[in-house]
Amino acid sequence: MIRSIYLSAFAVLITANALAEDAINPLVSDPALYEAAVALVPKGLVAGQAFRYDTETKTAYVAAFRDGADDPQDPGLDVDGGQVLELKLAENGGKLNIASHVLRPRQSADDVAPPEQWEPGAPPVGTPIPSGVIPCSINGWSNDPDPSGLNVRAAPDTRSMILGRLAPPWKGSGGADIAGDMGYRTEFRIIGYRKGWFLIQDAQEPGAPYEDPPPKRHPKSFKGRGWVKARLVGAAYANSNLSPALLRQAPHRDAALRPTLDGEPRLSIDGTLEVLEACSGQWALTRSRDGQHGWWRGICSNQVTNCS
């Protein structure tokens, strides 16, 4: 079932590769050849994009990542380059076929594409990230409408001590719903993730980043480091030059692409991020409003304009 989903998105793969040599990459131009390559990927891995082809040696390269890298309980890591299926092609009867193949770990030499242009800010300083926590470097906001605010806990556990709260939404001095129906929400940095919880710090009062802070009587936000439930955290997709604008099965640009579910050829980044599910580095595992689920690199917390 998983394999058939990704093969159904093969037409999208044709636009996914940015290198000039991809115009003659037979795995991109020949769906049947790509399908034959996918069949060689062992159980436990998901075939990604045919990201490279060497015309001199007739060698094609397909990325592969751990099946389940999009599970919030055990998410993939941005430092995991995954595997590479290296395929030697040979011509037979005027048609290219797979002559031999080998599966190997991805190497630095495989990363021929330029990195995405996205700068989320400096990494956290001070106390190191605790052991067992996935380091992240993204921004988000509280989606908790509770007038008492969102609990910030000492550990990723509902039984853990409450260190403080993040302020509830603020409608703004003009009363206009500038940032949506909830008004301005408390923004913060997300520096770690562990099984349904985000480790955060540096909270800002709702509206403060937009020169419209709440009145003194409004509840204040805890600004230290602590844990909040991931299901109560929101954010926005940022334009990080991932091409095309589709979510991915793992936190890597060459991971399998997730086709949109609403019939659109590309995911609109404006106002479509519904849920933050996990994070790793500058990547976030998300669910979009069309119901699609996957990874995106470049998350921001701007509530009044898009994040282009």
Q: Any idea which of 51-65, 105-119, 176-190 has the lowest mean pLDDT?
A: 105-119
Give the Å distances, CA to CA, from 227 to 106, 164, 277. 34, 10, 14
Of 182, 222, 231, nearest in space to 204 by CA: 222
Looking at residue 91, its amino acid is E
Looking at every residue in the chain, the average pLDDT score rounds to 86
Fold that domain 134-234 belongs to in CATH:
SH3 type barrels. (2.30.30)
- pLDDT for 115 equals 58
For 218-259, how does the pLDDT look when each residue is reduced to its tens digit (9 = 90+)? 999 999 999 999 999 999 998 887 878 899 999 999 999 988
The model's confidence at residue 305, banded by pLDDT at 50, 70 and 90, is confident
Question: Which of 103-117, 162-176, 222-236 has the highest mean predicted lDDT (pLDDT)?
Answer: 222-236
Q: What is the rounded CA–CA span in Å between residue 199 and residue 78?
A: 17
Model confidence, pTM: 0.87
The model's confidence at residue 123, banded by pLDDT at 50, 70 and 90, is low
Q: What is the rounded CA–CA span in Å between residue 180 and residue 274?
A: 13
Residues above pLDDT 70, as percent of the chain: 85
* 3-state helix vs strand vs coil in the chain, percent to 5: 10, 35, 50
Mean pLDDT, to the nearest integer, of 167-189?
81
Q: The tokens of 4 are what? A: 């058939």
Largest CA distance in the chain: 80
Mean pLDDT, to the nearest integer, of 136-160?
95
- pLDDT for 150 equals 97
Q: What is the rounded CA–CA span in Å between residue 115 and residue 80?
A: 15
- pLDDT for 249 equals 97
Top pLDDT among 151 and 270 is at 151
- pLDDT for 201 equals 95
- pLDDT for 260 equals 80
For 51-108, how does the pLDDT look when each residue is reduced to its tens digit (9 = 90+)? 999 999 999 999 999 999 999 999 999 999 999 999 999 988 888 999 999 999 999 8
Residues above pLDDT 90, as percent of the chain: 65
Query: For residue 244, is the peptide bond before it cis, meaning its omega torsion is within 30 degrees of 0?
Result: yes
For 18-57, how does the pLDDT look when each residue is reduced to its tens digit (9 = 90+)? 344 445 899 999 999 999 999 999 999 999 999 999 999 9
Domain boundaries in the chain? 2-110, 134-234
Render 155-209 in DSSP notation, one character per residue.
SSSTTSPEEEEEPPPB--TT---TTSTT-B--EEEEEEEETTEEEEEEEE-TTGG
Of 47, 45, 69, 76, nearest in space to 60 by CA: 47
Q: What is the rounded CA–CA span in Å between residue 140 and residue 299?
A: 8
| Residue 7 reports pLDDT greater than 60 | no
- pLDDT for 6 equals 43
